[in-house]
Amino acid sequence: MNKFAEELNKSIQEQNPLVFDLLSDLGKELFYPKGILTQAAEAKKKAFRINATIGIATEHDEPMHLKSVSEQLNGLNPEDVFPYAPPGGKVSLRQEWKKKLIEDNDSLQEQDIHLPIVTNAITHGLSIVADLFCDRNDRIILPDKLWGNYKLTFETRRKAKFSHFPFFDENNQFNIDGFAECIEQASEEKLIVLLNFPNNPTGYTPTEAEVDNIVKVLKAQADSRKKFLVITDDAYFGLFYEDSIQESIFSKLINIHPNILAIKLDGATKEEFVWGLRVGFLTFPNLGKDVNEALEKKVWGSIRSTISSGSHPSQTLVLNALRNEFFQKEKQEKFNILLNRAKKVKEVLDNNKKYNEYWSYYPFNSGYFMCLKLNNINAEKLRNYLLDEYGIGTISINDTDLRIAFSCIEEADIEVLFETIYKAAAELSNK
């Protein structure tokens, strides 16, 4: 093992044995090399005369660039666009995002979390966490309503094993008993729990009471000597329309038990409606300066060895937006549009009892999506029929569930959509 990795491991093991025990074999081997980037960083601070370390071209004391590119960037400073961003992301952006996290989550205090690390959106963050903490045959606890890409990230790439519990109970509430039972039945000492709220595909976020019960289950199981990595995928954070908890469950999990490590993944991609910019964040709790720095260097090593660093222009655009005086007002306007669409979906579904012949719907109170639960109609057949006969696109999740992204449907089209789905379901049923 590389000596730098050994030094990081020693620091973690001595000061936080849980974190060390949760690391995967690859996670233990990861490190941030003290090579070109480190030397270049030192030179940037001290080489006031000539700096011959940077792996970019410069001209007239600024990054060399083409006018055909720079003229598209609306006067952005070349220094904030063309050079490589640091592997962990622009420090100013990381600081701004930490400030945002504290403002958005009432339970969070500044001392609770480490400086967020920039990722190439949340999928990249999930991949980093999988590499750091997930070994072959590690057990992952997650609901049966899940984003399909988790399978590629954890099952295919890291060879983990999934254990599912039904997302909703018979009362259409978060299935706390099923969650507890799924954990109890797992024989492994180390478990990874993956929580995604607002949930994709259902659009559900638990209530305060449901979140309290989730925390109680984890603490009780941690008391029985199980060791947990809890990953909170907060991709749609902030889009809370009704009675759900109004902050991340991550805020409730920080340092609640010596056997529980929580990690938060979120991003500007969906929260700030900049999907193509691919700017996400990975946030560790405050685990002590040495442990956090060691974990940070392992994350940097993962980033350095895969994508090298994230997009600098994207980070600059997000940073400038967060600092813009009109940012919150504009964001609230977009939130209101999505809120009204969610309300319209419920209004249409609840006011048309005829739909009950062909479907019910899962509870939804947040995010981008909702799901129909079909009666005696195959979701994939209905999806194809809607596409071929009516030019309407939906997503079949499994045999019974059809996902509707109301986030991309104009409010005026919502009633037409469900009327057409009803018509298609009736036609299929009569064939």
Residue 337 has what pLDDT? Answer: 98
Listed residues 323, 338, 355: the one ending a domain: 323
Q: Are residues 296 and 361 in the same domain?
A: no
Residue 370 lies in a domain: yes
Question: What's the domain range around 211?
Answer: 8-31+87-323
Residue 37 has what pLDDT? Answer: 66
| Residue 244 vs residues 336, 347, 388: alpha-carbon distances, Å | 17, 19, 37
Residue 42 has what pLDDT? Answer: 76
Judged against a pLDDT cut of 90, whether residue 289 lies above it is answered with yes
Task: Provide the pLDDT confidence category of residue 48 given band limits of 50, 70 and 90.
Answer: confident
Q: Are residues 197 and 235 in the same domain?
A: yes
Task: Provide the pLDDT confidence category of residue 39 given band limits of 50, 70 and 90.
Answer: confident
Burial 157-184 (b: 16+ CB within 10 A, else e): ebebebeebebbeeeebbbbebbbebbe
Between CA 8 and CA 290 the distance in angstroms is 9
Residue 2 lies in a domain: no
Q: Are residues 159 and 56 in the same domain?
A: no
Residue 168 lies in a domain: yes
Q: Are residues 41 and 23 in the same domain?
A: no
Task: Provide the pLDDT confidence category of residue 36 given band limits of 50, 70 and 90.
Answer: low
Judged against a pLDDT cut of 70, whether residue 17 lies above it is answered with yes
Residue with tokens 């020693």, as numbered in its chain: 10
Residue 132 lies in a domain: yes
User: Tell me, what CATH number does 18's domain have?
Assistant: 3.40.640.10
Over the chain, what is the mean pLDDT?
Answer: 95
Percent of the chain with pLDDT over 90: 92
What confidence tens digit (pLDDT) does each residue in 228-286 have?
999 999 999 999 999 999 999 999 999 899 999 999 999 999 999 999 999 999 999 99
Residue with tokens 């749609």, as numbered in its chain: 236
User: Tell me, what CATH number does 378's domain have?
Assistant: 3.90.1150.10
What confidence tens digit (pLDDT) does each residue in 377-431 have?
999 999 999 999 999 999 999 999 999 999 999 999 999 999 999 999 999 998 7
Residue 3 lies in a domain: no
Q: Are residues 253 and 297 in the same domain?
A: yes
Number of domains in the chain: 3
What confidence tens digit (pLDDT) does each residue in 117-149 have?
999 999 999 999 999 999 999 999 999 999 999
Give the DSSP letter string of 380-418: HHHHHHHHHHH----EE-SSSEEEEEGGGS-GGGHHHHH
Q: Are residues 287 and 153 in the same domain?
A: yes
Q: Are residues 50 and 60 in the same domain?
A: yes
Listed residues 323, 341, 367: the one ending a domain: 323
What confidence tens digit (pLDDT) does each residue in 360-374 have?
999 999 999 999 999
